[in-house]
């Protein structure tokens, strides 16, 4: 009888334990080569709220293509540079950069280059123990056919989103921040190179708009700079860019929106406006400083 | 000795029931809000021409949360698309409202006295926008949503 009671108690304990997530990942993560960071005092929820605001580099890539610019892979970070990236810091930043490059190659239907970038992404992601979030087989298959661009972009974006969610859940938001910042720096770099060539007001305005995202990136890096000397150094470089952007004004005028129903869909008419005060001199300085920061990351 | 056996039997039964009830309740809680399924539904109904950006899990936790909020930087001269999915053709009272960085309302899926399953927002002012989901007479307080864009 005592044995039976013991068994039932065990059953009760197992029923409780079945609800806990079995965290195989924890032991795995503990074995990773990484600096153990003290977590910032600000809550993970606040950090995630700021991180989620950073837009996808795809939006800039689409704008660049729309501006009539031809594909130019010399603007991108060569996949051959991957052998330079040995620390988690460099891997995370360049994973973001290669992610932006992959989006650029996909939009231009450059299938062969896309595969090179996929291979680089796979290597870096595996190095950070997040390779399981990439469906490389499916992505490669889709990349071989230019008709699959929509699906390709969808899966790539989903994979990167899942990685960022996972890193934040695992208290590795520092890597998520580096990944997103790497993607942003690469998109800004490509944008600056093309804007100068095209002398396009729309592209210049887009450069000016990046002030909003830079404010978030600055804040995120600030949370980790004390604990991580690499992030601290990177923060100082980003502040050089911030000094230039402090001269740029974004003027927002709110106006009540209107809406109409079109084919069963609600279409909102945004009557608010923003104007961006940015000069050619500002663009030149941003271009040079972004290139300098990027060079430090990719070399 | 006989009395002891009867007490032990009662203890056994109580412990067994406690384990079963606890286990069952937990499984029920896990099954309550299938946001992954709903976001997949929304993905498949993303309007043609729009490129996927991100998905949102709208989990009102059975009614205990009256608002679920996300944020994103929208760019001018870009059109955004947000839809809501609940596993049926209706949005089950899930209202999405867009606010600009100053918390001024710039759009919603509730207009003309009815809910719309999706909204298009051609943005003309770059900035941080708040995408807020609330529940107006919702039965399940659960849904999915995706955000897409096109230029």
Provide the pairing of β-strand B127-135 with A273-277: unpaired
Task: Return all residues near B56 (Cβ < 8 A) that are at least 6 apart.
Answer: B39, B68, B70, B131, B133, B144, B145, B146, B147
Which of B101, B107, B149 shows the shortest C-beta gap to A59? B149
Min Cα separation A203/chain B (Å): 12
Better-predicted residue by pLDDT, B82 or A38: B82
Query: What percent of the residues of chain B are helix, what percent strand, and what percent coil, each to the nearest 5?
Result: 30, 40, 30
Q: How far apart are CA B140 and CA B78, in angstroms?
A: 33
Q: How far apart are CA A118 and CA A99, in angstroms?
A: 8
Q: Are residues B10 and B67 in the same domain?
A: no
Q: Are residues B61 and B21 in the same domain?
A: no
Rg (CA), chain A: 22
Q: Are residues B103 and B136 in the same domain?
A: yes
Q: Are residues B18 and B76 in the same domain?
A: no
Mutate one of A158, A168, A257, A277 to test the B interface: name it (highest B CB count within 10 A).
A257
Q: Are residues B26 and B97 in the same domain?
A: no
User: Into how many domains does chain B fold?
Assistant: 2
Which of A157, A206, A212 shows the shortest C-beta gap to B127? A212
Return the C-alpha torsion angle A177, A183, A184, A185, nearest 10: 100
Residue range of the domain that includes B85: 35-150
A16 touching chain B per CB within 8 A:
yes
Chunked in runs of 10, what are the mean pLDDT values of chain A (299 residues)? Answer: 60 50 44 52 88 94 93 97 96 97 94 93 96 90 82 92 93 94 98 91 96 97 94 97 97 94 91 95 97 97
- CB contacts of A253 in chain B (<8 Å) are 125
Residue B21: band (very low, low, confident or very high) from pLDDT cuts 50, 70, 90: low
Nearest residue on chain A to B131, alpha-carbon basis = A53
**3-state class (DSSP) for residue B111:** strand
Rg (CA), chain B: 22
Contact flag A53-B12 (C-beta cutoff 8 Å): no
Query: What is the model's pLDDT at position A145?
Result: 78
Query: What is the model's pLDDT at position A283?
Result: 97
Tokens of A211: 């002030």
Q: Are residues B107 and B141 in the same domain?
A: yes
Q: What's the gap between Cα A258 and its chain centre?
A: 33
How many other β-carbons are positioned within 10 Å of the β-carbon of residue A202?
A: 13
With CA atoms as reference, report the closest residue to A85 among A178, A8, A205, A2. A178
With CA atoms as reference, report the closest residue to A63 among A280, A281, A274, A209. A209
Which CATH number covers residue B134? 2.60.120.380
* Mean pLDDT within B53-67: 96
Q: Are residues B72 and B135 in the same domain?
A: yes
ipTM score assigned to the predicted complex: 0.85
Q: Are residues B79 and B116 in the same domain?
A: yes
Which of B5, B12, B127 shows the shortest C-beta gap to A274? B127
Q: Are residues B11 and B69 in the same domain?
A: no
Q: Are residues B40 and B28 in the same domain?
A: no
In which element (H, E) is residue A284 found?
helix A280-298
Q: Are residues B3 and B60 in the same domain?
A: no
Query: What is the model's pLDDT at position A70?
Result: 94
Reported as half-sphere exposure (CB side, CA atoms, 13 A), residue A246 has a value of 7
A27 touching chain B per CB within 8 A:
no
What is the reported pTM? Answer: 0.85
Q: Are residues B80 and B45 in the same domain?
A: yes
Tokens of A177: 């921040």
Query: What is the model's pLDDT at position A141?
Result: 87
Residue in the block written with tokens 């972009």: A153
Contact flag A254-B100 (C-beta cutoff 8 Å): yes
Mutate one of B3, B16, B19, B68 to test the A interface: name it (highest A CB count within 10 A).
B19
Res. B145: pLDDT tops 80: yes
Residue in the block written with tokens 């869909």: A265
Min Cα separation B64/chain A (Å): 19
Query: What is the model's pLDDT at position A42?
Result: 80
Nearest residue on chain B to A276, alpha-carbon basis = B126
**3-state class (DSSP) for residue B97:** strand
Query: What is the model's pLDDT at position B3?
Result: 53
Q: How far apart are CA A143 and CA A106, in angstroms?
A: 8
Q: How far apart are CA B50 and CA B41, in angstroms?
A: 15
Q: How far apart are CA A94 and CA A188, in angstroms?
A: 14
Q: How far apart are CA B104 and CA A81, in angstroms?
A: 46
């Amino acid at each position: 009888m005592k044995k039976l009671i013991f068994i039932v108690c065990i059953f009760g304990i197992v029923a409780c334990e079945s609800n806990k997530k079995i965290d195989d990942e924890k032991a795995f993560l503990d074995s990773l080569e990484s600096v153990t960071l003290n977590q910032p005092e600000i809550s993970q929820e606040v950090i995630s709220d700021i991180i989620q605001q950073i837009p996808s580099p795809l939006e800039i890539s689409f704008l660049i293509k729309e501006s009539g610019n031809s594909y130019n892979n010399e603007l991108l970070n060569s996949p051959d540079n991957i052998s330079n990236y040995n620390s988690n810091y460099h891997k995370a930043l360049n994973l973001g950069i290669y992610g932006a490059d992959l989006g650029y190659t996909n939009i231009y239907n450059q299938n062969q280059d896309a595969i090179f970038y996929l291979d680089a992404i796979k290597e870096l992601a595996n190095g950070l123990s997040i390779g399981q979030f990439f469906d490389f087989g499916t992505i490669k298959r889709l990349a071989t056919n230019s008709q699959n661009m929509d699906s390709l972009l969808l899966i790539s974006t989903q994979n990167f989103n899942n990685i960022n969610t996972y890193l934040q859940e695992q208290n590795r938001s520092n890597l998520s921040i580096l990944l997103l910042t790497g993607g942003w720096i690469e998109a800004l770099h490509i944008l600056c190179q093309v804007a100068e060539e095209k002398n396009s007001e729309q592209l210049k305005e887009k450069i000016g708009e990046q002030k909003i995202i830079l404010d978030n990136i600055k804040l995120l890096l600030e949370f980790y700079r004390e604990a991580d000397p690499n992030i601290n150094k990177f923060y100082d470089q980003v502040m050089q860019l911030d000094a230039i952007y402090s001269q740029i004004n974004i003027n927002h005028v709110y106006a009540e929106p209107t809406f109409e129903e079109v084919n069963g869909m609600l279409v909102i008419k945004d009557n608010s406006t923003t104007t961006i005060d940015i000069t050619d001199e500002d663009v030149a300085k941003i271009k040079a400083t972004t290139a300098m920061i990027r060079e430090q990351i990719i070399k | 000795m006989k009395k002891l056996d009867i007490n032990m039997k009662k203890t056994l039964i109580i412990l067994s029931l406690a384990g079963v009830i606890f286990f069952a309740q937990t499984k029920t809680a896990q099954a309550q809000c299938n946001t992954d399924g709903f976001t997949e539904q929304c993905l498949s109904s993303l309007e043609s021409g729009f490129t996927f950006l991100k998905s949102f899990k709208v989990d009102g936790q059975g009614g205990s949360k009256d608002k679920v909020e996300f944020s994103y930087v929208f760019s001018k001269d870009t059109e955004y698309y947000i839809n809501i999915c609940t596993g049926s053709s209706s949005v089950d009272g899930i209202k999405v409202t867009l606010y600009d960085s100053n918390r001024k309302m710039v759009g919603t899926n509730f207009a003309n006295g009815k809910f719309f399953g999706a909204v298009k927002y051609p943005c003309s002012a770059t900035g941080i926008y708040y995408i807020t989901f609330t529940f107006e007479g919702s039965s399940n307080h659960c849904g999915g949503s995706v955000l897409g864009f096109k230029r």
